[in-house]
A and B are shown apart, each in its own frame.
Chain A
Amino acid sequence: MANFALTGLFNKFYGVVIRKGDLLMNLSYRKKLKDLSSLLLFIAPFTVLYIIFLLFPLVQGAFYSFTDWNGISSNVRFIGLANYIEAFTNDKRFINSLIVTGKYTVATVLISNVVGLGLALFIENSVKIKSMLRTLFFVPYIFSLVVVGFSWKFIYTKIATNIYQLTNIGFFNLDFLGSHKIALISVIFMSVWHGMGYYMLIYIAGIQSIDQYILEAATIDGASGWKKFRYIKFPLLMPSVTICVFTCLAGSLKVFESIFVLTSGGPGYATETIAVNIYNEAFGSANLYGYGTAKAVVLALIIMVVSFIQLSYFKSKEVEA
């Protein structure tokens, strides 16, 4: 009986109607059952890991966001939505971190993609040193952000000062990390430098997959370089743009390492993004673990909503040749 119910389930799953006694159909049904079980077996290790290390902590984290847990105590008190209300009504630092993250994200997404696309087009046109340039621009991306952060900290403080002493060019004497007006720009510059090679690579792949016949046809029709880009290459690159903007957006909204290493959110609160703010709140001397978790849930929701809107909008703009 149970077996029969199972059969029904699999029929539904595969949309196959099995007539009893039909040997041929029964055979193919058994084959499909076998396929399914091997499929389940293959994804099982990952699914188990995913549940243990991602899904379970996520649910647990969401639970702590409704409590006043201090990260040490075994006494966890349920306080409902108080953490969320506090974050939006009585926490200037959190609101500030939302604004900082907003500025950072808009700037990084725009600049990274424009620069990445620009580099891709430039490299595709420079035939001779193509592979060398491609490697050169991609190199920063293979370094860990922490290493890059420490290097740039050194560049912004020591090297820039030395250059100033040698050349007397005022620009190099700017207080790159210490001024609240410039610090965020310095961080954005480093992030773009680090990430542009990755986006460049995706755009190069996109450009290479464009059918040469279309471009040839356009050339014969007398389209100039800019027109070819605007009306042919760019629309056909839309899938690459979707992917690049999506990765960059999600990454920027939760940016942590680069800022933590370079400025730790300072001076003051000038570069404190949401993730850095959460870290300080949950692990700093304040001991507000539950509160930090609530902010983390808010951040997760923001990332989900923004990414969803971005993806569906960009998808709608994609065309096929």
Chain B
Amino acid sequence: MKKLMAFFLVVVLLLTMAAGCAKSQAPVSTPDGQNQTDQTDSKTDSNDSTDNEISATITYLTSQPLYAKNSDAINEELHKVHPKINVIIEHISDNYEAVLKTQMASSNAPDIFSWQGYLAMVPFVEDNKVADLSNESFDSIVFPNFLESGKKDGRQYGIPTIMQSLGLLYNKDVFEKAGITEIPRTISALKEAVEKIKAIGVQPFTSGLKDQWVCYDLFWFAQTPVMDDMMGWYNAMNEGKASFRTERTEKMFELFDFIYENSGDKPLSSDFAEMCHQLAAGTAAMAVQGDWAYEETQKIDPNANLGMMGLPVSEDPAESAIMADSAEILFVSEQSENKEAAVAFIKWMLSKEGAEYLGSITKTPSTSSLKPVIELNPFAADANKWVNDGNKAVPFAWNFWAPGIMDVVGKNIQAYFSGSITLDEFFEDLDNQWAKTVN
């Protein structure tokens, strides 16, 4: 009898294990049918209420750490407009792609997730992983030129929510101390400034090159700012008729070498965090990075006097450029059961109140066309001024890159600077990789 009992228990144990692996698609109904009644309740609720309240809990995978950190406050603010929508905000900084892909493969995709637009979203669109939002009239609340980044074949899939900028970050106090009154707009002016900074014993640049993504951000300046016919080049590249190696990209590498040589003893051991810290502490004067560095600089000195300018790319002051592009482009999963709530949440993010509230957290400009008033962080403010003053601004290069080229660029930049490959090999390898991924 005992043995029979033991056998029975083992079988039950095994079955439990098997049950654990099964996909839980249908809600488990309790014997008294409580869950079912709950569901019908909420349905009748939403039908009854006059202002069409949607009731749901949605998940949102973001690349913006501050959203996740302020998740409770965001929910509170959201409830003023949508009292029945709850958002679970999850942030992943490393291996974002791996996590997103794993969640999708296990039919566990977040309702809303952030991704790049343009070419980077194509695999998701082609495989019906993201919902078509063309009929949600986002064009009435977002600047139409920003919406381009989330379009494919005239259909709207991604909704860009914020604007980010990339340029030459600098410590204004160090510049003042070194006696640099005007920001350098040509390479020779930059070299002069570097001499002045050296003279007061400060390291001119801080590199962050240990992080691969910082490496490819740097390389973007050898792309969009120095191309006369951007789309023409990318199209030619996809047909295998162009090369990364042009006269102008080679020239840019002279500038990169100059930056590398003036980035202290060990530029390849310095990572993004260290770069921000050095900049804020004033132990280094400049860095090629974006306005997202703001949060990290705050950790060292919240009152650091920082700013952003265009990176000089030639002897022509008008060519000195920053990159400004839409970011935190949001997609709604096709598998999501709460599409309506997800869309309502994105619309809230872009509404005047929502954008102003989120802007007060991130201090980053919104893409909303409803004129939200946002106090910008010093980098974003300078970038905004740069663009408004009619200076050169270009899009991020990665939006046009063949999938997979990002990692190769990052690694190859490191390999080039560490001296394990030559510039010839650098360009050759990049061209080969591009051809490979396009085919």
Contact = CB atoms under 8 A, between A and B. Distances in A.
Interface of A: 41, 44-45, 48-49, 52, 70-75, 90, 92, 156-157, 173, 175-180, 264-270, 272, 280, 283-288
A48 B17 contact: yes
B337 to A, nearest CB: 19
B28 to A, nearest CB: 22
Contacts of B429: 92
Contact of A269 (B124, B126, B415): B415
Contacts of A288: 404
B contact patch SS: helix
Interface string B406-439: 1100011011111111000000010000001100
B104 A72 contact: yes
Contact of B412 (A45, A268, A283): A268
Nearest to A279: B98
Given A178-B209, A285-B407, 9 more contacts: A45-B10, A72-B104, A73-B126, A175-B265, A175-B266, A180-B420, A267-B420, A284-B404, A286-B403
A176 B418 contact: no
Contact of B418 (A75, A156, A179): A179
A41 B10 CA distance: 8
Nearest to A49: B17
A285 B404 contact: yes
A270 B10 contact: no
Interface residues of B, number: 46
A108 to B, nearest CB: 22
A311 B210 CA distance: 39
B282 interface: no
B123 A72 contact: yes
B7 interface: yes
29 contacts: A44-B14, A45-B10, A45-B13, A45-B17, A48-B17, A52-B21, A70-B123, A72-B123, A72-B129, A73-B126, A74-B127, A157-B274, A175-B265, A177-B269, A267-B210, A268-B411, A269-B420, A270-B420, A283-B95, A283-B97, A283-B98, A283-B101, A284-B404, A284-B406, A285-B404, A285-B405, A286-B407, A286-B437, A288-B404
B366 interface: no
Interface of B: 7, 10, 13-14, 17, 21, 95, 97-98, 101, 104-105, 120, 123-124, 126-127, 129, 209-210, 212, 265-270, 274, 403-407, 411-412, 414-421, 429, 436-437
Contacts of A175: 265-266, 268-269
A70 B268 CA distance: 32
A180 B98 contact: no
A72 B407 CA distance: 18
A320 B193 CA distance: 76
B124 A266 contact: no
Residue picked from B95, B101, B269, most chain A C-beta under 10 Å: B269
Contact of A72 (B101, B209, B267): B101
Given A49-B17, A266-B414, A44 B98 contact: no
A167 to B, nearest CB: 16
B14 A48 contact: yes
Given A73-B123, A285-B97, A268 B269 contact: no
A193 B95 CA distance: 28
B418 A267 contact: yes
Given A48-B17, A70-B123, A72-B129, A268 B97 contact: no
B97 A284 contact: yes
Contacts of B10: 41, 44-45
B126 A264 contact: no
B269 A178 contact: yes
A70 B129 CA distance: 13
Nearest to A177: B269
A180 B420 CA distance: 7
Contacts of B420: 180, 267-270
B107 to A, nearest CB: 11
Contacts of A285: 97, 120, 403-407
Residue picked from B265, B270, B405, most chain A C-beta under 10 Å: B265
Contact of B7 (A41, A72, A266): A41
Given A45-B10, A72-B101, A180 B419 contact: yes
A177 B270 CA distance: 10
A178 B418 contact: yes
A288 B126 CA distance: 16
Contacts of A90: 436
Contacts of B407: 280, 284-286
B2 to A, nearest CB: 13
Nearest to A164: B265
Contacts of A173: 265
Nearest to B426: A268
Given A41-B10, A269-B411, A283-B95, A179 B268 contact: yes
A55 B210 CA distance: 38
Contacts of A286: 403-404, 407, 437
Residue picked from B120, B420, B437, most chain A C-beta under 10 Å: B420
Nearest to B410: A266
Residue picked from A156, A176, A283, most chain B C-beta under 10 Å: A283
A70 B95 CA distance: 16
Contacts of B414: 266-268
Contacts of A287: 123, 403-404
A120 to B, nearest CB: 35
Given A44-B10, A178-B266, A287-B123, A71 B418 contact: no
A28 B66 CA distance: 71
B123 A177 contact: no
Contacts of A266: 210, 212, 268, 411, 414
A267 B405 CA distance: 17
